[in-house]
Structure 1
Amino acid sequence: MTETLAAEFSNTSPVSIEVLLLRILGALLLCGVIGLEREIRKNTAGIRTNMLIGLAATVFTLVTLQMMKTLGDGDTTRMDPVRLVEAVTSGIAFLAAGVIVYTKGSVRGLTTGASMWLSAAIGLSVGMGMWVVAVAATVTGIIVLWLLRETEIAAGIKSDDDRDL
């Protein structure tokens, strides 16, 4: 029994435990930045939601990498890693649709839904070890969410009261 348990917990990952933990923490940090902006704006999907989305996307990516390593020998299994991206985007689209509301001729929650999708993309990028893409997406996302919003307010396109229209 001891050997069975030892074998179970000694399953080798395609990345070292240090890299695995770094990717998980990195996804939490980067997606937390996106969530912080949403939280400051008092939107429905804030820090925790965006962090969990990024964490989940990262874990799905790491699981896929493990599956490709252990099952993808070519003779017995046909792997399509693009399905990972499709599955994550479909799941996030479902969650994001829940924050989008249409009432009295206006749509609310689109930007929050889009930020959730961005967090999933950041999580996928971090999970694959594509740090430059993940950091660039985070910085660009903050520029779009914060700087462009401030520009819209300064230009009179939106008022400070218009949250997430």
Structure 2
Amino acid sequence: MGTQLAMWGWQALYLFEALVLSTAIGLERQAKHKDAGTRTHALVGVGSALFVIISKYGFMDVLSADVHLDPARVAAQIVSGIGFIGAGVVFTQRSHVRGLTTAASIWMTAAIGSACGAGLFVPALVCTILYFLAVTLLPFLTRIIAPGYGNDDMLRLRYRDGHGILRSILSVCAIHGVSVEGFSTRKSKDSDDEEPGSRGHVVSADLEVRGRDSKALIGDLSDIDGVISVTRINNND
């Protein structure tokens, strides 16, 4: 009985470590306002750990001279099964693929949870640390080594229609050396979108810009006569 209690205690510890490490990854994703946040990553990590525990201990009562089990078979299905969840956060927006980093984080969380379920405390902890180094340090190094690479921003502009403002917007982008990768506009007839005393429709435009820091660009776009507002939309994976 004492041996059984000790085994249960270790199993509970495996699950708790999986919860802590996977929640830490989920907090980082949620802080960046991603759909897959703390709850998703925590459930993936703990679920993966439980599957590994089931693989190791769940069938011990049926073992006999005529029954042989492969404890890796259930755990192996985690690798392929987690792809369905990862695919759910990947989508295409104006010919650009989004959500790959979040999908990869879910996949890595499953691996970390599996390591916890197998009792591999140190590899699970090290991989969690490496994850945070990858998502924080690598973008910083990229900006140093290749300035301008990966500086993608989605800007949302609201301006009055019928004044040639769109040409001015594109001209300012060209002056700043910024490439407009995607562009879409929509008109609004809502009275809330109209400026007091303005005539015509207010246009809401989304610009996907690439090439440089957009802070100065936002300032110059805001100074264009007829532009009502310029806001940055979170566009990280």
Shorter-chain TM-score: what band?
0.7 to 0.9
Q: Deviations over 1:24-72 (max 9, x none)?
A: 1100111111111111111111111111000000111111111353334
Select 2:58's aligned residue among 53, 63, 67.
67
> What is the rounded CA distance, in whole Å, between the counterparts of 1:129 and 1:71 in structure 2?
23
Unaligned runs of 5+ in 2: 154-234
Identity of aligned residues (%): 33
> What is the rounded CA distance, in whole Å, between the counterparts of 2:105 and 2:56 in structure 1?
25
- State how 1:91-102 maps to structure 2 within 5 Å: 91-102=81-92
> What is the rounded CA distance, in whole Å, between the counterparts of 1:99 and 1:129 in structure 2?
29
- Which structure would you say has the larger Rg? 2
- Per-residue deviation at 1:88? 0.8
> What is the rounded CA distance, in whole Å, between the counterparts of 1:76 and 1:119 in structure 2?
36
Q: Deviations over 1:128-152 (max 9, x none)?
A: 1001110111111111122213333
- State how 1:47-58 maps to structure 2 within 5 Å: 47-58=38-49
Select 1:150's aligned residue among 137, 140, 143.
140
Give the structure-1-normalised TM-score.
0.82
- State how 1:95-134 maps to structure 2 within 5 Å: 95-134=85-124
Give the 3-state SS of the residue equivalent to 1:99 in structure 2: coil
**What residue identity is the alignment partner of 2:38?**
I
Pair 57,157 (structure 1): closer, same or farther in 2 beyond 3 Å: same
Unaligned runs of 5+ in 1: 1-9
> What is the rounded CA distance, in whole Å, between the counterparts of 2:17 and 2:49 in structure 1?
9
- State how 1:1-12 maps to structure 2 within 5 Å: none
Give the 3-state SS of the residue equivalent to 2:58 in structure 1: helix
Aligned to 1:21: 12
Question: Are 1:14 and 1:66, in contact at CA under 8 Å, matched by a contact in 2?
Answer: no
Q: Which protein has greater RCO, CA pairs closer than 8 Å, 6+ apart?
A: 1
Give the 3-state SS of the residue equivalent to 1:44 in structure 2: coil
Higher strand fraction: Structure 1 or Structure 2?
2
